[in-house]
Structure 1
Amino acid sequence: MLTVVRERLGQVLFRRVAGPDGPAVRVRIHHTPGPRWFDPDRPIRMVHADASMFIGGLSALLLQSLHPLAMAAVAGHSGYRGDPWGRLQRTSTFLAVTTYGTAADAQRAVDHVRGIHERIRGTTAEGVPYHAADPHLLGWVHVGEIYSFLRAHERYGARPLDPADYDAYVADTARVAEALGVIDPPRDRRELEECLTTYRPELRATPEARSTARFLLFQPPLPLAVRPFYGVLAANAVALLPPWARGMLWLPRMPGIEEFAVHPTGQALTRAIHWAMNPPRLSRPT
């Protein structure tokens, strides 16, 4: 009975993240022969395969929303409110293809995204122009994402890495960032932190950013029965944010509660997700 529950829960989670074509896409990604961008022992494969990505991904969206130009591009062109699961599925597929797929498949995925970015242009409510293909704006999206993934893995990962491997993770992700058009992305954790700091004068919580935070944290398109579990995910995603980012989004810290309630529930949730999505009788793809 427990095995059946595990199978069904794993299938539901996978389909939600990967979409209806997820099983076929997974086979293509992992079983198509050919060279890859990353060898099986690279840290990027370990981090991106971990259940901590559920928390890191949500935290990344909150952090990325603080750049007014990035937020304007998302609000105006991504359709995340009308189809949030579709956007999640496209993002997770891109991460999977570039991390585990063949080099040719990874390059095609990057070329497709670059084509989309090239077409996304507009102006903010204040009249400031933006272009999604701007290397500086792409750099912010990359930094916000990788910072969040790394922090989530460090706190909730099944097998946290040592400092040298986290530096190597940042270096691995730089390859994908450069392919997308980022100029001189950070290549170790120190550079990642420094890069995050250099963007801070540009960041602020626009009305769109705070509206996005409310949508992501309090209005998820989920059945009521699932919302308590999502609430755990959301609380831990907020706890990962730098204090200054939380302040901008009006998400105050709760001393004591986070250390003794939020963090332990986040660890329990990621262990449960890992348990459901990694049955022992199946060998994990390399």
Structure 2
Amino acid sequence: MLPLPHELLADQFDRIFETQVRSRYFRGLEFAGPRGDPGWFGPDSAVWYVHSHLPTLVFGLVCAAYLEGFDPSIVAMGADHSRLLARDEDGRSTERIDEEGAAVRFGHSLSFFIGTAYGSTATAERLTRTVRAMHHTVKGTRPDGLPYDADDPDWLRWNYATVVWGLATAHERYHYRPLRGEALGRYYAEFTRVGQALGGTDLPATKAETLDCLKSYLPRLAITSAQAARTGPNLRDVPTGPLNGPFVDWMVRDTLPTWAARMVMHRRPRDVEVYARRTAFWLALNGLHATTGPLREFRQARARVSGGTDRPHTLPAHIPGTDPTRTRAEVEALA
């Protein structure tokens, strides 16, 4: 029997994902075993459900990155310690996005939020151990003279809040059958395990707490270079790509909390146009998911626990202060 068109498209997508993402950023991650291992959340968790829809997960990460960009310390960390921004001959940041560097960062982010969601317990531990080790090396001084430290509990709390808000909001608005009310609340509560495993404390555990947390940081935030490039008249210069361009950029800003939308002069058009844009985006994301189906990794995870689990879920094993000291080169070797 000949394969159906959607099966051909699903196979093609998996081949692209294999060459562009899985082979580069999923090395050493385990989803098929050990048999019966529920990982950090387990098959009945809200986190498994939310993160199994790849298009909304990707969009949520883009939304989180945009929100993070309001923090001058985030921008300074990216300029000083990552390949996210291109550099001149003297190694100084040009404040322009390095496309390859951005792709590497996004690939690692994707593997992290998939692996910690429904990977094996050992996979989740390995991923968070690597990110913590990277954070331990990210310390410096912003151009305005203020210090930054990726291990700072206040920074970890802000970073966590932007991520959980981006992922949960993208799911709530664009998943074909989103969690609502108490079920969505379970997602916010469950996901704190990831933030705690990265060293976060006093993390928001509900949607309301997350919104309050984000707004509480307003005195520390600014229109950074990352946001200025996509604010007001500069929007016409936004480059077009698979994860950006004027339409996707509008959809990202449409998810911002009200105060953040005002900062970048985001104005909603008439309700009918908002509805049309959101509907078109909903159709695009869910059409893609319907065509490709869940990732191979998610199917492997479901098979891993198909015979049941020996416990509802495991918990992160990290004890703060016990990580070994590593150089940047040693950390990059871990990744």
TM-score, structure 2 length as denominator? 0.74
Distance verdict in 2 for CA 1:145–1:283, change over 3 Å: closer
Amino acid at match of 2:238: F
Q: Which residue of 2 aligns with 1:218?
A: 238
Check whether the contact 1:66–1:204 (CA below 8 A) recurs between aligned residues: yes
Distance verdict in 2 for CA 1:238–1:281, change over 3 Å: closer
Of 135, 140, 155, which residue of structure 1 is paired with 2:158? 140
1:40 matches 2:55: no
Q: CA deviation digits over 1:59-93, x for unaligned, max 9? A: 11111111111221123222123211111110011
Q: Distance in 2 between matches of 1:149 and 1:280?
A: 18
Q: Which residue of 2 aligns with 1:273?
A: 288
SS of match in other structure, 2:200: coil
1:85 matches 2:121: no
Q: Which residue of 1 aligns with 2:141?
A: 123
Q: Which residue of 1 aligns with 2:274?
A: 259
Moved more, 275-284 or 117-126: 275-284
Identity percentage of aligned residues: 26
Aligned residue runs from structure 1 range 160-175, under 5 A? 160-175=178-193
Aligned residue runs from structure 1 range 14-53, under 5 A? 16=20, 18-21=21-24, 28-33=30-35, 34-50=37-53, 51-53=55-57
Distance verdict in 2 for CA 1:125–1:153, change over 3 Å: same
Of 158, 163, 177, which residue of structure 2 is paired with 1:159? 177
Distance verdict in 2 for CA 1:283–1:146, change over 3 Å: closer
Displacement after TM superposition at 1:24 (Å): 6.1
Moved more, 196-205 or 30-39: 30-39
Q: Distance in 2 between matches of 1:260 and 1:35?
A: 39
Q: Which residue of 2 aligns with 1:55?
A: 59
Distance verdict in 2 for CA 1:87–1:281, change over 3 Å: closer
Q: CA deviation digits over 1:85-129, x for unaligned, max 9? A: 111110011111211122222112111111110101111111111
Bigger radius of gyration: 2
Amino acid at match of 1:122: G
Question: What is the number of residues matched between the two proteins?
Answer: 278
Q: Distance in 1 between matches of 2:123 and 2:114?
A: 11
Displacement after TM superposition at 1:282 (Å): 11
Check whether the contact 1:6–1:275 (CA below 8 A) recurs between aligned residues: no
Of 68, 73, 80, which residue of structure 1 is paired with 2:72? 68
RMSD: 2.9
Amino acid at match of 1:124: R
TM-score, structure 1 length as denominator? 0.85
| Uncovered stretches (5+) of structure 1, i.e. residues with no partner | none
Q: Distance in 2 between matches of 1:279 and 1:202?
A: 39
Displacement after TM superposition at 1:29 (Å): 2.4
User: Between Structure 1 and Structure 2, which shows a larger proportion of helix residues?
Assistant: 1
Moved more, 43-52 or 29-38: 29-38
Q: Which residue of 2 aligns with 1:241?
A: 256
Amino acid at match of 2:132: R
Q: Distance in 1 between matches of 2:205 and 2:298?
A: 31
Q: Distance in 2 between matches of 1:38 and 1:205?
A: 37
Q: Distance in 1 between matches of 2:272 and 2:298?
A: 38
Check whether the contact 2:211–2:257 (CA below 8 A) recurs between aligned residues: no
SS of match in other structure, 2:83: coil
Displacement after TM superposition at 1:257 (Å): 6.2
